[in-house]
Amino acid sequence: MATEENCTEKKMHNFVVKIVKAGVKAAVVIVIYAILIQFLAPISSIIPSLQQTIQTFVIVYVVLMIISDLASGTLFQHVFNAARALFAMIYLVFFLNAGIFEYTSGNLSLTVDLRLFLVIAMMLGLLELAKSVLQAINYVGERAEPVLI
Amino acid sequence: MRVPIRILSIATSAFWIFLIIFSASAIYSMRDFQVNFGQPQTSTTEDHELLFSFPMSVVNTGLYGIADFNISRSLLDEDGSVIAGTSIFIPTIGQGQTINVTQNVKLNVTDLLQTHQSLLINDTDLRTNTMLSMLAAGMIPLQASSNSTMQWGAPLNNLTLGTLQLAISNATYYVIRVPLSFENHAFFDLSGTVWLSAYNTVGQLIGQGQTSIQVTQNSPYDGNLEIYVPIGAGPIVRIEVYFVTTFFNYKQEIAANGD
């Protein structure tokens, strides 16, 4: 009976730790976003959709991060990490229009070639994805029961 | 396996942080980059070319330098064909640097008015296309273009050749007077000669006259052109009016009623 209660208490304690950890990480990301959006303010006044697009990205990214942290200690943590990396890559490709960002207002047209930035971001995204796959393999490997011969 | 994964984690996080900080600071830096255009000036060269001068200043007080700064400007006609253009290339604009430059666009009026005769007699708006390209923060290619219009003043605006007036000059000649009026809206003073040639029914030149004209910018001209024609030369069916000036030559025909 006492062992059962200890086990439930430990589970509760672990879950609270996970929530706190996820909350702290989400708060850090939101603070970074709030600082960065100040830097982007001059561009946001020219391109009103920019802030909304970044906001959507941050919301989805943070949600996936929280779910991943809550699922830590299970295989789903790595699945959600991989999903987050994939989401970041796909969102960047669509948002940056495959690296060529075009904006037209009145008789002014602006084109920014962000292909180099996109390539670097894609490589980092692929590294994140590879890391998640490696973590999943490692997790499955560690959980596999040893076979006694 | 844990150690390589941990190293991979740290490395990707570090690169992400560097990339995000660099991108945000590069965008922020562009806020402090300005290209200010001054009032365009117009003058004429010794080769009778029109010179449009566009003064501008490039101010970079951002966090990063600007590389391969290029600004090109072209004048387009109503069909969108380029009639004149120029560009300026500045290899680097350092942090905190201000560069003042004047972009000169030369326009050969003689060639222009030969191919675009409507510009001689009609005021119009010429389109100007300005294209700007650079490497922001030394590595992000950026291009901006804008269209605007520039007023073109016709040197023979509202050109009117009035009704021919015939008068007997003496026993052998009669005189034909052609009222001529126009306004010089061009960027230059107009000086030259107007030639009149009269032809009879068989296309023979039967009389010629000339008048010198000096019309300053934004001034009207109102005068009479005269030709002396022998009385027995036959009826006049056609009169040609030639403008021979330092900037252009222009011919216009008037059909006479054979008097």
Q: What is the CATH number of the domain that holds B206?
A: 2.60.40.10
- Indicate the SS3 state at residue B132: strand
Distance from C-alpha of B34 to C-alpha of B32, rounded to nearest angstrom? 6
Claim to verify: residue B43 and residue B148 sit in the same structural domain: yes
Claim to verify: residue B232 and residue B139 sit in the same structural domain: no
Please give the residue of chain A at the shortest CA–CA distance from B16.
Answer: A124
Residue B220 lies in a domain: yes
Residue of B13, B17, B30, B31 to mutate for A, most A C-beta atoms under 10 A: B31
Please give the residue of chain A at the shortest CA–CA distance from B134.
Answer: A112
The residue among B116, B137, B152 that closes a domain is: B152
Residue B15 lies in a domain: no
The residue among B104, B124, B152 that closes a domain is: B152
Claim to verify: residue B148 and residue B37 sit in the same structural domain: yes
pLDDT of residue A124: 93
- Indicate the SS3 state at residue B168: strand
pLDDT digit string (tens) for A83-93? Answer: 999 999 999 88
Q: Which residue has the higher pLDDT, A4 or B220?
A: B220
Average pLDDT over residues B21-37: 86
Identify the domain containing residue B122 by its residue range: 33-152
Claim to verify: residue B110 and residue B140 sit in the same structural domain: yes
Eight-class DSSP state of B233: G
Please give the residue of chain A at the shortest CA–CA distance from B15.
Answer: A124
Computed over every residue of chain B, the mean pLDDT equals 87
Cβ contacts (< 8 Å) between B142 and chain A: which residues?
110-113
**Which residue type does B27 have?**
I
Claim to verify: residue B108 and residue B212 sit in the same structural domain: no
What percent of chain A lies above the pLDDT cut of 90?
40
Phi, psi of A39 (to 5 degrees): -65, -35
Cβ contacts (< 8 Å) between A114 and chain B: which residues?
140
Residue B37 lies in a domain: yes
Residue B2 lies in a domain: no
Distance from C-alpha of B132 to C-alpha of A50, rounded to nearest angstrom? 23
Cβ contacts (< 8 Å) between B23 and chain A: which residues?
117
pLDDT digit string (tens) for B68-81? Answer: 999 999 888 878 88
Q: Which helix (H) or strand (E) holds B34?
A: strand B33-37
What's the structural domain count of chain B? Answer: 2
Claim to verify: residue B148 and residue B177 sit in the same structural domain: no
Phi, psi of B247 (to 5 degrees): -100, -30
Claim to verify: residue B54 and residue B136 sit in the same structural domain: yes
Residue B19 lies in a domain: no
Contact (CB<8Å) B24/A39: yes
pTM: 0.73
Residue B178 lies in a domain: yes
Structure-block tokens of residue B251: 């011919």
Claim to verify: residue B141 and residue B223 sit in the same structural domain: no
Cβ atoms B221, B181 nearer than 8 A: yes
Residue B165 lies in a domain: yes
The residue among B119, B152, B185 that closes a domain is: B152
**Which residue type does B239 have?**
I
Claim to verify: residue B223 and residue B190 sit in the same structural domain: yes
Residue of A53, A111, A140 to mutate for B, most B C-beta atoms under 10 A: A111
Q: Which residue has the higher pLDDT, A50 or B33?
A: B33
Structure-block tokens of residue A69: 């942290």
Claim to verify: residue B62 and residue B169 sit in the same structural domain: no
In terms of residues, how long is chain A?
149
Claim to verify: residue B83 and residue B42 sit in the same structural domain: yes
Please tell me which of the candidates A39, A110, A127 has its beta carbon nearest to residue B25.
A39
